[in-house]
Amino acid sequence: MSGLDAGAGERAGGAGAEGEGIGDPGVRHSGVRDSGVRDSGVGESGVGGGGGAHEHVGAGAGAVAGAGVVGDGAAAGRRVVGDPVKALMHTHRELCERAVDPLEIAAGLEAHGVTDRTAAHFRHRDVFSLAEEMYARVPRAGDTPPCAAVPELPRARAGWIVLTLLPGLLCAAAVAGLRLTQGPPRLLTAAAGVLAVALALRAAFRTGPPNGAGHAGAGASSLGPRTWWLAGYALLGDGLLSTAVAGGPDGPPTGTADGPWPVAVAPVMALALACAPAAWCARLFAVRARRRLAASRGLEEFAVSVRPLLLGTLALFLGALTVLLAVCGAVLDQSAAYPQALTLGALLLLARLLVTHGFPHAPAALLTAAASAQATALASVFAGRLPGCDILAAPVDGLVTAWGPAALPTLICGAGAATLLIHAMHTLTKASSHASAEGPW
Amino acid sequence: MRIGLITEGVCPYVNGDTRLWCDRLVRGLGQHQFDIYALAGGERPEGRGGSPLPPQVGRVRTAPLRTAGDGGARYGRRARRRFAECYGELAAVLCAAGTGDPSSAADAEVSAVEADRFASALYGLAELARDNGGPAGALCFETAVRALERACRAPGAPRPAREARVPDLLAAATHLEHALRPLSLDWYGDDALGSVDLCHATSGGAAALPGLLARHFSGVPLLVTEYGVQLRAHYLAATEASPAVRALLTAFRRRLATEIYRRAAVVTPGNAQARHWQQRCGAHRDKIRTVHPGMRAAHFTEVGESPERADPGTLVWVGRVEPAKDLMSLLHAFAEVRRREPRTRLRVVGTPSGPEGAAYLGHCRALAAQLFPDEAANRHAVGDNPVSFEEIGGPELRSSADAYAAGAVVVLSSVVEGFPAGLVEAMFCGRATVSTDVGAVVEVIGGTGLVVPPRNPRALAEACVTLLRDPERRQRLGAAARARALELFTVEQNTRAFHSIYLEIISHTPARRVLLDDTGEPLPFALPAEAHLPGSWAGAPPRVVARGGPRWALDDAPGEHPAPMSAAEGAVR
């Protein structure tokens, strides 16, 4: 090391001689390097040479050696270790362990003030080769990195829970109002109830269990009209169909289950109440899927682990809906209409799940298909009354006489729900559908 | 000449120093026409920042890079297959172990093959995006994630990539999608970057990617200017992501940087450190022209030309106060200086940067109070501390030039430094300097100041004392420093350097294009041969040029340049 320094000193002196002639040995020995002033015609090329010369001069007299040359033996002895790179690695332990690439160590070292001149002390040409040695020497004893922390969904807030309960409660209040009122106020109550439930649904699904708030809002608004049609059919459709097949209807519905056009309030109220379990189930699915995402090592493994989760979520919701239907049927003393309501509930839940995970197209198409199938069936019954068009009403008539009016919505919604389930088993098991929408940047 | 200036940041220029530089470059080169293409960051494009654009700016196009959403097109079956192929290839290259040193021959061959694979995958994706629009939708994302998984599980993948879990794959795919977003810009047509004569990317990385594609699609030469190497900045910035994500992303950025340096006509680093990084990443030595950043010298002229304003016993430190500046070491050095030269004073001029800097400033004040008791001229005067902490903007120091003017010697004690702007200002002021050997200090100072090792207060003190005791040498060094700074670090020098680089690139790689008329037919002779020559050619008689030309041009490699040879010979005869 001292030989190197002597050489550096000579070169420094040589460089200084041409300009200013600093022959002051005290300065040089103490580690100050002054290559003197070049003559004032400092041209472009001359300067480049100057820089290069300096790097050579600097090679010998960095921080460590500088202390040694002063003659301070204690200071010099304190710094000398057998393996300087090892000491450096100890200093930058965290950097070395973290690095995925020698260049990352090089960048970190430079940020800590290590230059090519310093690297020369470690017998390296430049920082890059020093970093390469450090990267190669980092002990990597098969330590697996800690599980990447996946951002959890924010905790459910009380406000959100109240919002999900709101449609059901408002619907129950409206039904109670209908029971207690008569005449024109009853009509007003019905209108106000429908409006309030509509607004509550909108609010609940705008802030649903989001993967991205954008998805949820957009999906809710695009699916809105179809959902309303399906709910309306659940309320009025069965009564209308049975009346129509029998030759009616002869007047508007009276709002009772035993009139000429019976209204099925119980399943609709149960469905409105089921908004809360639906939202909770969707959230449960999102949270659990994210946990499995964080735990799984491969895409296939993740898909396999999510499939039962999806089925379980659906089963949980259907169970909750069954209970609600039974309760509503008992309270209102009406038929609970299990098959129609359960298939419709499954269809709507699956559509909701797909929309919140960024697949709005398939649910939109299927809900449209279901709604138009119901509309076509109703229209065909009425079209059958036209002279010579009996044949049009035949299929629906046959269906209703064979299995009753409930068969039509059950078949349609059931087919839709099955199709959506198959689609969801395919898409919701992809890891990409559970990536956080806000993105890491 | 039409220059396509590609910047990264808020419209129309990027923020901060680079913005200032771009503005000066555009205003300084009025003879060229500039089209500005800005890749906007997260913020909304702001107004033009007060100053109107100069007339040489033809158009400004801004592309928002960070708006997520379904902006792209849905691919058909064939396009999806092509996407899967290209992306799979890209992912495979990212996971290939090829971090070797380009200087060794075997590694160089392997890395050249890898670089070619990366380039073909990148251009494949770019062509796909040009023909079919940018990839969008869940299908492409899923394809990308699957490709990444396959590449990470392939044999030979680096260790961090092998351990990638599903969230890592998702994060990496998202980041890559963002990094590849310039591919789907509509900038590469004949009405945009395809029509310029030269693309000038004001930084590496994302900003150079459009230039790379313009070169690929239209053969426009690319000039890359990097004052700070983007790759290095990414290494320092991306420390939070998991190792697998970082491994994939840094591999992408490294390959992209290599491809940019390989394809660029000229690469201009701002200092030697950036040059080393670029060379390390595959920039060929012949392409590199170091262009130092330019700074305004006008404020410092008055101070620089009046060296007698300096207070002979004062050391000055100017800068932003932060731990990397190592003021502690400076204070200890000053204690040593005081022991030898008792009447010396130290003025620390600067504002703290951030809360950390403020805390550091507090520590420094405490240390100064401990080391140096207040002093007074006599028994009846009020004393003060030989170390004063001041800020620019007070009545005494109106500008930084005043701060430099106050000292006989300007000291720089940093342990970490990039390009030392403060040192250049001191040089403009014609002050003798003592600085630590960090960053680009040695390169900037040349031989016109004293340089000591960092973290060595004794050496720093010794150098300061040497200069304090020798006013004549101080003046000599100061004058030389000022001459050097005026030669190398002025705005004019910077602009001139870029002007000549533009001309050089155009003369070596003229963009050849065929002009089309209204019906789409090529117009013959629409571009005369003179259009390819820089400057006005008609005015200069060729004989004079040939006579004035150097003799060696005639003897040099006669086989390679037949046409100029014969012309020159004719002129000489």
- Euclidean distance between CA atoms B530 and B538, whole angstroms: 8
Nearest to A98 among B158, B239, B458 (CB): B239
3-state secondary structure of B522: strand
| Under 8 Å between Cβ of A29 and B448 | no
Amino acid at B192: A
A66 and A93 share one domain: no
Q: How far is B256 from chain A (nearest CA, A)?
A: 15
Nearest to A100 among B171, B247, B466 (CB): B247
Reply yes or no on whether the pLDDT at A418 is more than 90. yes
| Cβ-based neighbours of B328, under 8 Å, separated by 6 or more | B363, B364, B367
- Give B346-400 pLDDT, tens digit per residue: 999 988 888 999 999 999 999 999 988 888 778 888 888 889 898 888 777 888 8
Phi, psi of A348 (to 5 degrees): -70, -40
Domain residues for the domain of A49 are: 1-80
Nearest to A63 among B231, B454, B477 (CB): B454
- Give A121-164 pLDDT, tens digit per residue: 888 888 899 998 898 888 775 555 555 555 566 666 777 788 88
CB contact under 8 A, B437 and A117: yes
For the ranges A43-52, B3-12, B286-295, B505-514, the maximum mean pLDDT occurs at B286-295
Q: Considering only residues A92 and B1, tell me which one the structure prediction assigns the higher pLDDT.
A: A92
Q: How far is A136 from chain B (nearest CA, A)?
A: 12
Reply yes or no on whether the pLDDT at B103 is more than 60. no
- Euclidean distance between CA atoms B205 and B252, whole angstroms: 10
CB contact under 8 A, B437 and A107: no
Reply yes or no on whether the pLDDT at B12 is more than 70. no
pLDDT for A80 equals: 53
CB contact under 8 A, A432 and B451: no
- Euclidean distance between CA atoms B100 and B111, whole angstroms: 8
DSSP letter for each residue of B256-306: HHHHHHHH-SEEEESSHHHHHHHHHTT--GGGB---PPPB--GGGHHHHT-
pLDDT for B331 equals: 93
Residue B543: which pLDDT band, with cuts at 50, 70 and 90?
very low
- Euclidean distance between CA atoms A23 and A36, whole angstroms: 10
Q: Which of B448, B474, B490, B501 to mutate to test the interface with A (most CBs of A within 10 A)?
A: B448
- Euclidean distance between CA atoms A407 and B298, whole angstroms: 90
Helix axes B243-263, B230-237, angle to 10 degrees: 170
- Euclidean distance between CA atoms B277 and B408, whole angstroms: 36
Reply yes or no on whether the pLDDT at B53 is more than 80. no
Q: Checking DSSP bridges between strand B57-64 and strand B33-40, what pairing results, if any?
A: parallel
Average pLDDT of the segment spanning A376-380: 87
Q: How far is A161 from chain B (nearest CA, A)?
A: 29
Q: Considering only residues A80 and B253, tell me which one the structure prediction assigns the higher pLDDT.
A: B253
From the list A245, A210, A198, A222, the residue with the least C-alpha distance to A381 is A245
pLDDT for B106 equals: 66
From chain B, pick out residues whose CB is under 8 angstroms from the CB of A128: 101, 276, 280
A166 and A135 share one domain: no
Query: In chain B, what percentage of residues exceed pLDDT 70?
Result: 82
A178 and A104 share one domain: no
CB contact under 8 A, A299 and B477: no
In a domain, A153, yes or no: no
Residue of A nearest to B475 (CA): A37
Reply yes or no on whether the pLDDT at B9 is more than 50. yes
Distances (CA, A) of A317 to A310, A320, B291: 11, 5, 68
In a domain, A202, yes or no: yes
pLDDT for A21 equals: 35
Average pLDDT of the segment spanning A80-88: 77
Residue A10: which pLDDT band, with cuts at 50, 70 and 90?
very low
- How many domains is chain A built from? 3
| Under 8 Å between Cβ of B327 and B317 | yes
Phi, psi of A95 (to 5 degrees): -60, -45
Sheet holding B33-40, edge to edge: B57-64, B33-40, B2-8, B198-201, B222-226, B266-269
CB contact under 8 A, B456 and A299: no
From chain A, pick out residues whose CB is under 8 angstroms from the CB of B250: 100-101, 103-104
A34 and A136 share one domain: no
- Euclidean distance between CA atoms B242 and B252, whole angstroms: 16
- Euclidean distance between CA atoms B456 and A66, whole angstroms: 8
Nearest to A145 among B243, B483, B487 (CB): B243
| Angle of CA points B77, B161, A297, to nearest 5° | 75
A429 and A298 share one domain: yes
Reply yes or no on whether the pLDDT at B560 is more than 70. no
| Under 8 Å between Cβ of B491 and B24 | yes
Question: Which H or E run contains B314?
Answer: strand B311-318
A129 and A165 share one domain: no
**Matching residue, tokens 């708030």:** A213
In a domain, A273, yes or no: yes
From chain A, pick out residues whose CB is under 8 angstroms from the CB of B463: 27, 32, 34
From the list B2, B51, B85, B16, the residue with the least C-alpha distance to B418 is B16
Phi, psi of B67 (to 5 degrees): -80, 115
| DSSP H stretches of helix in B29-104 | 77-95
Q: Considering only residues A274 and A8, tell me which one the structure prediction assigns the higher pLDDT.
A: A274
Task: Give the burial class of B226: count Cβ atoms within 10 A of its Cβ; 0-12 exposed, 13-18 middle, 19 or more buried.
Answer: buried
Distances (CA, A) of A33 to B453, B459, B502: 9, 9, 38
Reply yes or no on whether the pLDDT at B202 is more than 50. yes
For the ranges A33-37, A201-205, A409-413, B477-481, the maximum mean pLDDT occurs at B477-481
pLDDT for B97 equals: 64
CB contact under 8 A, B178 and A441: yes
| Under 8 Å between Cβ of B138 and A362 | no
Task: Give the burial class of B402: count Cβ atoms within 10 A of its Cβ; 0-12 exposed, 13-18 middle, 19 or more buried.
Answer: middle
- Euclidean distance between CA atoms B421 and B444, whole angstroms: 9
A52 and A93 share one domain: no
Q: Which of A28, A32, A78 to mutate to test the interface with B (most CBs of B within 10 A)?
A: A32
Reply yes or no on whether the pLDDT at B547 is more than 60. no
pLDDT for B554 equals: 44
Reply yes or no on whether the pLDDT at A26 is more than 80. no
Distances (CA, A) of A3 to A9, A26, B187, B377, B566: 10, 18, 59, 49, 57
Q: How far is A406 from chain B (nearest CA, A)?
A: 38
- Give A220-244 pLDDT, tens digit per residue: 445 677 777 888 887 777 778 777 7
A203 and A230 share one domain: yes
CA atoms lying within 13 Å on the CB side of residue B388: 19
Q: Assess whether the previous peptide bond of A249 is cis (omega < 30° from 0).
A: yes
**Matching residue, tokens 């960051």:** B41
Q: Considering only residues A224 and B315, tell me which one the structure prediction assigns the higher pLDDT.
A: B315
From chain A, pick out residues whose CB is under 8 angstroms from the CB of B150: none
Whole-number CA gyration radius for chain B: 28
**Of A51, A80, A109, which one is at a domain's C-terminal end?**
A80
| Under 8 Å between Cβ of A112 and B455 | no
| Under 8 Å between Cβ of B226 and B204 | yes
Q: Considering only residues B31 and B223, tell me which one the structure prediction assigns the higher pLDDT.
A: B223
**Hey, how many other C-beta atoms are within 10 angstroms of the C-beta on A260?**
15
Reply yes or no on whether the pLDDT at B69 is more than 70. no
Q: What is the ipTM of this complex?
A: 0.80
Residue A101 per-residue DSSP state: S
Least confident among A293-302, A309-318, B66-75, B124-133:
B66-75
Average pLDDT of the segment spanning B15-31: 77
Query: In chain A, what percentage of residues exceed pLDDT 70?
Result: 70
Average pLDDT of the segment spanning B250-267: 91
Q: Which two tokens stand for residue A1?
A: 């090391």
| Cβ-based neighbours of A374, under 8 Å, separated by 6 or more | A229, A230, A233, A237, A408, A409, A412
Phi, psi of B59 (to 5 degrees): -150, 160
CB contact under 8 A, A100 and B484: no
pLDDT for A97 equals: 83
Residue A397: which pLDDT band, with cuts at 50, 70 and 90?
confident
- Euclidean distance between CA atoms B24 and B293, whole angstroms: 11
From chain A, pick out residues whose CB is under 8 angstroms from the CB of B487: 42-44, 47
**Of A45, A62, A80, which one is at a domain's C-terminal end?**
A80
A216 and A320 share one domain: yes
pLDDT for A222 equals: 54
| Cβ-based neighbours of B388, under 8 Å, separated by 6 or more | B345, B346, B347, B348
From the list A2, A357, A401, the residue with the least C-alpha distance to B138 is A357
**pTM of full prediction above 0.80:** no
In a domain, A171, yes or no: yes
From chain A, pick out residues whose CB is under 8 angstroms from the CB of B173: 432, 435
Reply yes or no on whether the pLDDT at B166 is more than 80. yes
Residue of A nearest to B477 (CA): A37
From the list B201, B194, B199, B216, the residue with the least C-alpha distance to B124 is B216
Q: Which two tokens stand for residue B466?
A: 């040497």
pLDDT for B514 equals: 64
pLDDT for A44 equals: 36
**Of A80, A110, A126, which one is at a domain's C-terminal end?**
A80
From chain B, pick out residues whose CB is under 8 angstroms from the CB of A150: 167
From the list A246, A242, A245, A244, the residue with the least C-alpha distance to A264 is A242
Residue of A nearest to B254 (CA): A103
Q: How far is B485 from chain A (nearest CA, A)?
A: 10
Q: Which two tokens stand for residue A329?
A: 């049927």
Q: Considering only residues B135 and A331, tell me which one the structure prediction assigns the higher pLDDT.
A: A331
A219 and A74 share one domain: no
- Euclidean distance between CA atoms B215 and B260, whole angstroms: 10
Average pLDDT of the segment spanning B423-430: 92
pLDDT for B378 equals: 81
Phi, psi of B2 (to 5 degrees): -100, 120
pLDDT for B435 equals: 93
Q: Considering only residues A70 and B252, tell me which one the structure prediction assigns the higher pLDDT.
A: B252
CB contact under 8 A, A439 and B241: no
- Round the average pLDDT of chain B to a whole number and report it: 81
- Give B447-485 pLDDT, tens digit per residue: 899 999 888 999 999 999 999 999 999 999 999 999 999
pLDDT for B230 equals: 83
Residue of A nearest to B70 (CA): A358
A126 and A171 share one domain: no
Q: How long is chain A?
A: 441
Q: How far is A208 from chain B (nearest CA, A)?
A: 20
Sketch out chain B's domains with CATH numbers. Answer: 2-67+185-287 (3.40.50.2000), 77-176 (no CATH), 298-489 (3.40.50.2000), 540-573 (no CATH)
Reply yes or no on whether the pLDDT at B427 is more than 50. yes
In a domain, A148, yes or no: no
- Give B289-309 pLDDT, tens digit per residue: 999 888 888 888 888 887 777
In a domain, A373, yes or no: yes
| DSSP H stretches of helix in B96-193 | 105-132, 137-153, 159-162, 166-179
Total CB pairs under 8 A between chain A and B: 210
Reply yes or no on whether the pLDDT at B545 is more than 50. no
In a domain, A147, yes or no: no
Reply yes or no on whether the pLDDT at A253 is more than 70. no
The number of angstroms, rounded, from the C-alpha of A369 to the middle of its chain's C-alpha atoms is 29
pLDDT for A69 equals: 34
Reply yes or no on whether the pLDDT at B205 is more than 60. yes
Residue of B nearest to A39 (CA): B480
| Under 8 Å between Cβ of B408 and B464 | no
From chain A, pick out residues whose CB is under 8 angstroms from the CB of B483: 40, 42
From the list B473, B174, B269, the residue with the least C-alpha distance to A24 is B473
For residue B409, the cross-strand partners are: B315, B432
Q: Checking DSSP bridges between strand B198-201 and strand B311-318, what pairing results, if any?
A: unpaired
In a domain, A66, yes or no: yes
Nearest to A302 among B68, B159, B166 (CB): B166
A54 and A90 share one domain: no
DSSP letter for each residue of A290-350: HHHHHH-SSHHHHHHHHHHHHHHHHHHHHHHHHHHHHHHHHHHTS---HHHHHHHHHHHHH
